Amino acid sequence: MTFDDIRAEGTGIRVHGNGFIQIDLPNARRLHVWGHPAIPRQVVSTQIHDHRFDFYSFVLRGTIVNVVYRVRTIDHQEPSHTVYTPQARAGEDTVLVPYGPPVKLYPSKAEAILAGDSYRMRAGEVHETFVNQPTATLMLKGDVREMPVRVFCPVGKKPDNDFVRHEVMGEDDLWQIVRDVFA
């Protein structure tokens, strides 16, 4: 997949609050561009989350690290994270609102996925992803399920609900970042 292919097929280019670019493509596909220093991001990281759909993610450029977590309700241990769920506001933007009691998260698997490789996540699995270089991934989304999306924020911190994805960077600048990553 080249930049010209993406530019010709892509719609709805936007910034995600966790510091990556999303581009919708035909056939339930979405391109993500990560790790470019010009991509804006929320002040408080809320990148630990789940999805209401299964997906495959194919690494096109760079390397991504995917960490999967187990979620435990609190018994005798201190919680590590407060649970939120996204609520729609203007456009495709959301705010995070409290959802359920605090929990303790335990990393259960961490995997580095190199360009040319892929990974799969099931709906409801909690994970986060990291990059240390400009990286591009192609996500193939499965069917959406009727279940809440959960986002986890470290205890004592509040999500950055002031971040508005449509106001932080113009489309031309976003496309230039995508071009840079695919150059």
The residue range of the domain holding 154 is: 3-182
Total domain count, the chain: 1
How far is it, in rounded angstroms, from Cα 61 to Cα 69? 25
pTM for this prediction: 0.90
The single-letter DSSP state of residue 28 is T
Rounded Cα distance between 33 and 16, Å, is 10
- Please count the helices (runs of H) and the strands (runs of E) in the chain: 2, 13
- Greater confidence (99 vs 74) lies with 99
CATH number for the domain including 85? 2.60.120.10
pLDDT (tens digit per residue) in 85-105: 999 887 667 899 999 899 999
| Tens of pLDDT, residues 156-175 | 999 998 888 888 899 999 99
